[in-house]
Amino acid sequence: MSMLTDALSALDTDGVWVVGGAVRDALADVQRREVSQHFPSPPAKRGEMPKAEGGGRIDIDLAVVHAEIWARQAAEALHAPAARISAHFDIWRIPLADGQIDIWELPDNDIERDLRRRDFTVNAMAVPLAEFRRGDLCSSLLDPFGGRDDIDRRILRLVSDDGFRDDPLRMLRAVRLESEREWRPNAELRSAIKRDAGLINNSAAERQWEELQRIILSERLPWALRRLEQSGLLDQILPELAVGRGVDQRPVHRRDVFWHQIDAVRWITRLTCPAAPRGRRPFAIWNELGPLLNTPAIRASLDSWRLPLRLATLLHDIGKPQTRTVDADGSTHFFGHSEVGAELARARLAALRVPTRTINQVELLIEQHLRPGQVNSPGKPPTDRALHRFHTALGDAATPLCWLFLADSLATAGAEALLPRWRGYAAHVARILAWQPRRPTRGGRILDGHAIMEATGLPPGPLVGEIRAKIDEAAAVGEITGVDEACELARRLAQGRRVSPSHLTSDP
């Protein structure tokens, strides 16, 4: 923050206004200090910008005449790039390591005109940059639409009834502000979202993802999904979900495909939260996983996979409508729905310009989401070979996949029906995640590719890799323990120029 403050102080701040969320959050922080006597926040020091609500990120909107010139000067001072980000408005963005600065063109130096075109009253306030830097928010506050009062009441109101038509992305932003900050939209705003939901795809996919990502990461995600569903926005942004409405899954599932996935998100949010959820059954479910959640490696994995895990949980069954078949007795089946769903998810997320790494993670979780329940035969614990193959295929996705399996199971049967058997589910996941190979292969292979070629006379090629994988598996489950046994196995496997299943069983 000090680098940003020092750099901006070197620029001409005359006629530069701080607008939008930075003013809103700073005033909300002042309000919290006024009402919180037991744990007051220290006042902003001279030369220090007030901290944003939610902490951490530095997101600042500035309105200035000759935005491009000022943006380039600020970017040079901050040693950062500046780029125009809107085809409709003259807006320049300077990305920072922990946030961003957006510089808006201020036509005719008319700040009130600028505020009239903004989305919500709590964002339609302005403070001169010099006063904002000093922490002097109130004496020079420009608030033509009563945003300060709405902050006190935590209310979201539109500045103009045409606000969503001017920029449809504002509808998603309203849901995001409600889920992240618990701002309550008034009745007129909720009606306007329902009226204009069909316009959301007129906004750029990248901007949709920016808002949607923050909604997905919110602790109030289940509630936010209901708001998106009720408003019609969810059907527009993720149409593959909408297709699941009314797709019956009896007798195994208690709800249709659409509501099953919404339920699964509710459970994944509860099962990964650091503190116990409210309610007797949710607490009992969460509490049984306590020893696992308190394991640092498991907690770190769930935290790092938070975004792809929640996305995959939301979309894990979108392949079911295309694969549904019905037996003569009315039983439903969805053969191949995991693979179809993974392809659909990849296409939808790519269209939203989601980063490739996140798409790959989501695709893997959806494609494999049935695997934790299939890793053992009915009534039997999973074998070492099955667990080796599970961990080899999943890698660091093993933990989030197990949590997706748990949330899926709860959404399928319901907590009341599953609670008597829940300890067995938790023990099953604990057994999967606790498994370790008898001889780890990373950095400790008995034979690498060169050794296999030397022992077998094979040339480089895919067969060498297949043999190496079989040797790794045999070592992991304790079937071979030394180099001589590994070489003998390699020669046997290479004899027919193929990997023969005769030596090793084929557990799933």
Domains of the chain (ranges plus CATH)? 1-153 (3.30.460.10), 156-237 (1.10.110.30), 247-434 (no CATH), 437-508 (no CATH)
**What is the pLDDT, as a whole number, of residue 48?**
43
Distance CA 18, CA 126 (A): 6
Run of H or E residues at 105:
strand 99-105
Q: What per-residue confidence (pLDDT) applies to 2?
A: 45
Highest mean pLDDT among 49-58, 97-106, 133-142, 352-361 belongs to 352-361
Nearest to 240 by CA among 364, 346, 363, 354: 346
- Of the candidates 165, 225, 152, 247, which has an alpha carbon nearest to the alpha carbon of residue 200? 165
Q: Mean pLDDT, to the nearest integer, of 51-58? A: 53
Can you give the pLDDT at residue 410? 97
So what's the pLDDT on residue 442?
Answer: 52
- Residue 34: pLDDT band (50, 70, 90) is low
Residue 250's pLDDT band (cuts 50, 70, 90): confident
What residues does 93 pair with on adjacent strands? 83, 102
Q: Lowest mean pLDDT: which of 26-30, 117-121, 172-176?
A: 26-30
For residue 449, give the 3-state DSSP assignment. helix
pLDDT the model gives residue 46? 39
Q: Which pLDDT does position 5 carry in this prediction?
A: 55
Helices 356-367 and 337-351: crossing angle in degrees, nearest 10, is: 160
84 - beta bridge partners?
A: 92
Average pLDDT of the chain, as a whole number: 88
Question: Beta strand 99-105 with 58-64: parallel, antiparallel or unpaired?
Answer: parallel
Is the confidence at residue 297, as pLDDT, over 50? yes
How much is the pLDDT for 400? 98
CA distance 353 to 96: 21
Instruction: For residue 274, count CB atoms less than 10 angstroms from its CB and return exposed for 0-12, middle for 13-18, buried for 19 or more.
Output: exposed
Q: What is the mean pLDDT of residues 485-491?
A: 85
Give the Cα separation of 320 and 481 in Å (integer).
45
The full DSSP string for 257-314 is HHHHHHHHHHHHHHHT-SSPPSSHHHHHHHHHTHHHHTSHHHHHHHHHTHHHHHHHHH
pLDDT of residue 6: 56
Question: How would residue 339 be classed by pLDDT, with cut points 50, 70 and 90?
Answer: very high
The mean pLDDT of 383-390, rounded to a whole number, is 90
| Confidence band of 40 (pLDDT split at 50, 70, 90) | very low
Q: What pLDDT score does 50 carry?
A: 41
Give the pLDDT confidence of 401-450 residue by residue, as tens digits.
999 999 999 999 999 999 999 999 999 999 999 988 766 555 567 888 88
- Residue 169: which of 195, 194, 204 has the closest Cα? 204
Instruction: Give the mean pLDDT of 119-139.
Output: 91
Question: Which pLDDT belongs to residue 206?
Answer: 93
